[in-house]
C-alpha cells in the first residue's frame, strides 16, 4: 500500500487514460504529481509529497463487441477496484490553514457566518471538531482526503470460456511516503462490494462481472 496523499486519483487514472493520445488502442504514460499527506498544512506550506503514476494498457476489439468495449470494461473495472480499496484508508487533509502561531491572524473567511470552510464549525476551527493535530486553534479553508492505494493494480480480460485475453490495463503508484504491507487483507471487502458490478457498455458481453484477486509483492 502506497500513501499518495490527497492527489486526485480520478484525474490521474481515469481522466488521464481518456486524455492520452491513441487511447483507442493503448495508453503508456509516466507522470509525477504533487500533493499533501500531512493532516494540517499551513497557508505557507508547499506540497510535501510527490507521487509517480505509471499507466500501461493495450486493448483491441473482441469478437462480437463494439470498438471500445474492451477499453471501457478494463477502465471501469480497475477504477471500481481502486475506489473500494482506497476508501478503506481514507484520512483528512486540511490545507490553507492559519493560526499555528499567535502572530498569525485568521483571514476574513474564518469568521464569516456560514462560511463553511474546511469544517463548517465556529470560525472554521479544526482543533476540536475536525482533528487537525495542533496545539493552537487553527482555522483551515480547504479539506480534502488522503488515500493509500496498492503499489500495483492490474485488470485483465477473460472470454466466456475463461481464457485470458491479451487486453490489459496496469497502473503502478510510488511516492516519497513510506509504504506498508498487508494490502491483500483488504481485498475481501473489495470483492464483496463489487459483486454484481458489470463493467463496460455491453452487459451481455461481460456477464460474469468483476472477479478480484490479490498477490502480495515482496
Q: pLDDT of 81-105, one tens digit each?
A: 999 999 888 988 888 887 777 777 6
**Per-residue confidence (pLDDT) for residue 14, from 0 to 100:** 96
Q: Flag whether pLDDT at 199 surpasses 60.
A: yes
| Confidence grade of residue 188 (pLDDT, cut at 50, 70, 90) | confident
Question: C-alpha grid cell for residue 64?
Answer: 462480437
3-class secondary-structure state, position 34: strand
Average pLDDT value for residue range 7-23: 96
- Element (H or E) spanning 95, and its range? strand 91-98
Q: With pLDDT > 70 as the criterion, what percentage of the chain qualifies?
A: 76
Domain ranges of the chain: 2-91+145-193, 105-143
Question: C-alpha grid cell for residue 117?
Answer: 470552510
**Per-residue confidence (pLDDT) for residue 208, from 0 to 100:** 66
Whole-angstrom distance, CA of residue 6 vs CA of residue 91: 9
Q: What is the pTM of this model?
A: 0.80
**Per-residue confidence (pLDDT) for residue 132, from 0 to 100:** 63
Q: Flag whether pLDDT at 73 surpasses 80.
A: yes
Instruction: Give Cβ neighbours of residue 180 (< 8 Å, ≥ 6 apart).
Output: 1, 148
**Per-residue confidence (pLDDT) for residue 207, from 0 to 100:** 59
What sections of the chain are H helices per DSSP? Answer: 9-12, 14-19, 69-87, 187-193
pLDDT in tens, 110-160: 554 444 555 544 444 444 445 565 555 677 777 789 999 989 999 998 877
**Per-residue confidence (pLDDT) for residue 128, from 0 to 100:** 45
Backbone phi, psi, residue 32, to 5°: -120, 125
User: Vertex 102, ends 101 and 104: CA angle to 5°?
Assistant: 70
Instruction: Give me the chain's average pLDDT, please.
Output: 80
pLDDT in tens, 29-61: 999 999 999 888 888 889 999 999 999 999 987
- Element (H or E) spanning 54, and its range? strand 49-58
Instruction: Give Cβ neighbours of residue 107 (< 8 Å, ≥ 6 apart).
Output: 98, 141
Is 20 in contact with 160 (CB distance < 8 Å)?
A: no
Chain-centre distance for alpha carbon 108 = 33
Cα separation values, 207 from 17, 110, 167, 193, 199, Å = 24, 52, 17, 17, 9
**Per-residue confidence (pLDDT) for residue 153, from 0 to 100:** 92
Amino acid at each position: 500500500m502506497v500513501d499518495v496523499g490527497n492527489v486526485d486519483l480520478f484525474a490521474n487514472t481515469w481522466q488521464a487514460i481518456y486524455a492520452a493520445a491513441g487511447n483507442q488502442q493503448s495508453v503508456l504514460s509516466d507522470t509525477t504529481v504533487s500533493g499533501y499527506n500531512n493532516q494540517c498544512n499551513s497557508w505557507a506550506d508547499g506540497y510535501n509529497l510527490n507521487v509517480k503514476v505509471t499507466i500501461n494498457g493495450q486493448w483491441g476489439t473482441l469478437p462480437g463487441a463494439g470498438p471500445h468495449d474492451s477499453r471501457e470494461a478494463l477502465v471501469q473495472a480497475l477504477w471500481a477496484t481502486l475506489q473500494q480499496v482506497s476508501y478503506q484508508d481514507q484520512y483528512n487533509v486540511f490545507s490553507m490553514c492559519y493560526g499555528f502561531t499567535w502572530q498569525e491572524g485568521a483571514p476574513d473567511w474564518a469568521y464569516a457566518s456560514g462560511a463553511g470552510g474546511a469544517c463548517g464549525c465556529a470560525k472554521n476551527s479544526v482543533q476540536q471538531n475536525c482533528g487537525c493535530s495542533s496545539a493552537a486553534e487553527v482555522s483551515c479553508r480547504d479539506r480534502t482526503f488522503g488515500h493509500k492505494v496498492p503499489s500495483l493494480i492490474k485488470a485483465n480480460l477473460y472470454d466466456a470460456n475463461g481464457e485470458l485475453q491479451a487486453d490489459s490495463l496496469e497502473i503502478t503508484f510510488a511516492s516519497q511516503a513510506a509504504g506498508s504491507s498487508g494490502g491483500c487483507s483488504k481485498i475481501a471487502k473489495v470483492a464483496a462490494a463489487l459483486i454484481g458490478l458489470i463493467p463496460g457498455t455491453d452487459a451481455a458481453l461481460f456477464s460474469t462481472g468483476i472477479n478480484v484477486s490479490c498477490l502480495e509483492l515482496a
